[in-house]
Amino acid sequence: MTGLQDHLHGLWLPLVTPFRDGAIDERSLRRLTRHYSGQAVDGFILGATSGEGMTLREVELERLVAIVRDEMATERRSIPICLGLSGADTSRLKERLDETADWPIDGYLIASPYYVRPSQRGLLAHFEALADHAAWPIALYNIPYRTSVNITNQTLLRLAEHRNIVGLKDCGANRDQSIALLRDRPKGFRVLTGEDANYLEALTDGADGGIVLSAHVETATFAAVYAEVKRGNHDAAQARWHEVAELTRLLFTEPSPAPAKYWLWRCGLIDSPEVRLPMVEVSSELAAQIDREIERRMKVAA
């Protein structure tokens, strides 16, 4: 597929990476791909935070992309894929762009450099260097509570002028900054929220969609919230949001994606809730909470 900018809207799913006995669980990955590609999902993010991308070796990341694309081809579906990349070394990231240039993807989701805390001039030079080098379009990922550096709107607006930077996953946790960016951004620059709990709020403010881990559960409801906002039916959107708002808190009670993986395992979509260290599986207390919520939702559905 081409034209990421045209597809960067609606509900995107940051797909979890299922593991079994320390390796990627191909059978579960294919099951997940079949399940979600048949729902109202507008795109997949692979190998980012929710996909435990920082624990994936390059050969595993390549296999992850290949399996998802192959399974979609089998199902005769074609959903855009963005590959999550992160790092604090601009030169090494340029090498990774070269290594992934011929992979069957549609773009990249690239987070700010973590730990080193560059200046805004440094961020500008970093992302421009990557965008000049990349074979595929780039969506920026601003998540200062993980990277310890915020990409300011002044910097974002400069970066939005680059022909190969097409959007932003906004986890800035600053609504005023987000609203100002939505107001001032150039035409065609897409902004998707990555804050699950603020999904409705961001859509109401004018965001183009969301990259929402919680949409692994009740996918159709999250899609309906987006659709109702786009139709201008804010009461209906609020009503649908009420069905899943608590879910966005429950699935982040402990470090993500462990709670979502436990839920998916309990529902039979993956064969194991396994995560990779330093992540650990959910506590017995949270497991019991999730079990109760699954049971409650099953009763409501019946």
Q: Which residues pair with 19 in a beta bridge?
A: 24
- CB neighbour class for 273 (10 Å; exposed up to 12, middle 13-18, buried from 19): buried
Q: According to the annotation, is 28 in a ligand binding site? A: no
Q: Which of 295, 298, 289, 263 is nearest to 32 (CA)?
A: 263
- The span from the CA of 114 to the CA of 88, in Å, is 6
- The span from the CA of 181 to the CA of 170, in Å, is 10
- Which of 36, 141, 199, 262 is flagged as catalytic? 141
- The span from the CA of 67 to the CA of 15, in Å, is 13
Q: Which of 42, 21, 20, 44 is nearest to 32 (CA)?
A: 44
**DSSP category for residue 169:** E
Q: Is 261 annotated as catalytic?
A: no
Q: Is 169 annotated as catalytic?
A: yes
Q: Which residues pair with 190 in a beta bridge?
A: 167
At 181, give phi and psi (nearest 5°): -65, -45
- Which of 36, 108, 169, 261 is flagged as catalytic? 169
Q: According to the annotation, is 211 in a ligand binding site? A: yes
Q: Which residues are annotated as a binding site for pyruvate?
A: 50, 211
Feature table: binding site = 50, 211
Catalytic positions are 141, 169
